[in-house]
Amino acid sequence: MPRTLNRILIYTALIVWTIIALFPIFWTFSTTFKVAKDVQLGHIIPWVDFKPAWLGLRAIGLSPDTIFTESTPRTEFIKRFWNSIQASIGASILALILGSAAAYGLSRFQYKWKIWKNRDISFFFLSQLILPPVVLAMPFLVLYKELALLDSMIGLILIYTLSVLPIVIWIMKDQFDTIPQELEQAALVDGCSIWGAFFRIILPIAMPGMVAAFILSVILCWNEYFFAALLTSSYAKTLPVMVASQTGSQGISWWSMAALSSAAILPLIIIGIFLERYIVKGLTTGSVK
């Protein structure tokens, strides 16, 4: 009897938290299809409480009746969406290239420059994690202005790369440490160069770690708001900045906000459902030994 009771309690708790975790997401998606009356009456369940309408998608030009016509909001939305993709993918690739190489070097070789050794270099990279974005925000604003990088994609990609680089190095170093050194020593004996061994032998084995690092970087960059809000204006503005700029205090059109928010979270939800394994791997790196 207590065992059954125990199980009931466990499943109740699980279901309660599932509702807490998923309801806001459901609410956002469903609000996309509500008209003003449904929002104000607090209707929740589609087809039962309210009849779904295309209002939200029409507002960004993606409903069935507007998708083949000219639409300024849609052009704007697609531009921001594409900017977000460019910034997050570009920064993740750059961080992965710089970070994997650095992590491999730190994992395999002993460096020494004056009093600096491997430990210090690793610490140097990881210590960037504690640096809050605000510290860099204003110097970057001024410097980017002088360098003509303000409101440019390259500027945004550089700073995003910087913010995910420590995480990539952390994940990749952990990954390389688990690969036995004998593997590339055998390759070196066969006449492979160290870079040849790195590309041909080690990288293919380290693929799971690279995927984990890449996905985590994409998520972090996709969601980044602080730098994008400060450093971009008309050209390189990303999706989160667009979502944030729509929130006027008066007369919000709920359905279009919901549609935009849905668009901002949908790619990540898809990633979350299908690549959860890699996200978990990336997050738990190095913490559990």
CB of 146 to another protein, least distance (A): 4
One-character DSSP codes across 200-237:
IIIHHHTHHHHHHHHHHHHHHHHH--HHHHHH-SSSS-
**What SS3 state is found at 46?**
strand
- Which range, of 48-56, 57-65, 199-207, 261-269, touches another protein by CB under 8 A? 261-269
Residues 53 to 82 in contact with another protein, rule: CB under 8 A: none
C-alpha span between 251 and 83 (Å, rounded): 28
Separation of alpha carbons 80 and 183, rounded Å: 45
If binding is defined by CB under 8 A, does position 169 make contact with another protein?
A: yes
Tell which one of 240, 256, 259, 278 touches another protein (CB under 8 A).
Answer: 240
Selected binder of another protein within 25, 85, 93, 211 (CB under 8 A): 25
Span near another protein by CB under 8 A; candidates 24-32, 57-65, 73-81, 205-213: 24-32
Which range touches another protein (CB under 8 A), out of 39-47, 51-59, 62-70, 206-214?
A: 39-47
Q: Which is nearer to another protein, 143 or 186 (CB)?
A: 143
Which of 59, 164, 165, 213 is close enough to bind another protein by CB under 8 A? 165
Residue 158 in contact with another protein, rule: CB under 8 A: yes
Q: Minimum Å distance from CB 6 to another protein?
A: 8
Show contacts with another protein in window 202-221 (CB under 8 A).
219
Non-local CB neighbours of 111 within 8 Å, separated by 6+ positions: 105, 117, 118, 121
> To the nearest whole angstrom, how small is the minimum distance from the Cβ of residue 287 to another protein?
5
